[in-house]
Amino acid sequence: MFSPDIFSVGWVVLIVLFALIFDYINGFHDTANAIATSVSTKAVTPRNAVIIAATFNFLGAISGTAVAATIGKNIVAEVDVVPLVIVVALIGAIFWNLFTWYFGIPSSSSHALIGGLVGAVIARHGTGAVLWDGFVKIVMGLVTSPVIGLVVGSIVMTILFWMFSKSSPSRINMKFRSLQVLTACMASFAHGSNDAQKSMGIITMSLVGAGMIDSFVVLPWVKVSCAMAMAAGTAFGGWRIIRTMGGKIFRIEPINGFAADFTASSVIYGASLLGIPVSTTHVVSSSIMGVGAAKRIKGVRWNIARQIVIAWFVTIPSAALAAFLLYRVLNG
């Protein structure tokens, strides 16, 4: 890690600032993950949905630190990582998040952060400074979690169809519209439990490197500040992506929204407990696809799904390239 010097405090403050900006953007970029289905089915109003998402994002963010340890310890080797590397990594991730948010593409903040970190480290030290075993394990979690969401979403929806096959559609919609409030809370909590910890890992890594703490332990002020930044971003809202997630993949009814949110929140929170960073955007979108396929496979707008899948694969290299080029420019 970078050595303590007279500039350490200033650099750490700058890293914390950009990490919180990333968390804020992550909040409004990924707000749609938790509330898109409940808003699209009119289970809750947009205003109330954002309040729910912000509140439970905060609670989820302070619930653990296992993902933070994975991000902070398993990607970069113990080399002289100068503060500029971390700042550039965060800027690369922020750039990609804003780019995809502007065009309403539900890409992954997790992919963007990991890509930015790898790109900046390679620009400074070369490929040998990346812990490729840890990187591959993280990427495997990012890739397999949407597949799990797709399969489990389809299974959950099939079970619900079987259980309520003899009920009238109006009664089913009324019942599950109320239950969607619960699953929106679950999805928001799960989102906070995984996504906010990624910035916690970056900040804690910088504190260790600057010699301000002796071991990798996420301090209470780091937890609270990251949680507050994400909650504030969530309160700002992410309506561009909500339109994609909530209606363009397929026409969602309350029972579908319940199944998708229940599936996604279960997969994401399970990953958080195991310390596996996953893309909440990808898990939610794949869960929606799985639910839609169980309902009627031809009813899923696979062209939108294809755009999302493409974003899955281009985010890490794109954010890495942005960070790599920015570091080279800033470092002459």
Q: Give the single-character DSSP code of 4.
A: P
Please provide the DSSP assignment of 45-93 as one string: -HHHHHHHHHHHHHHHHTS--HHHHHHHHSSB-SS---HHHHHHHHHHH
pTM value is 0.83
Low-confidence ranges of the chain (pLDDT < 50): 1-7, 246
* DSSP assignment letter at 217: -
Model pLDDT, residue 3: 46
CA–CA gap between residue 172 and residue 277 (Å, rounded): 35
Supply the pLDDT for residue 295.
Answer: 76
* Domain parsing of the chain, residue ranges: 8-330
307 by DSSP, 3-state: which? helix
Task: Report which of 15, 92, 70 is spatially closest to residue 317, judged by C-alpha positions.
Answer: 92
Q: What's residue 123's pLDDT?
A: 92
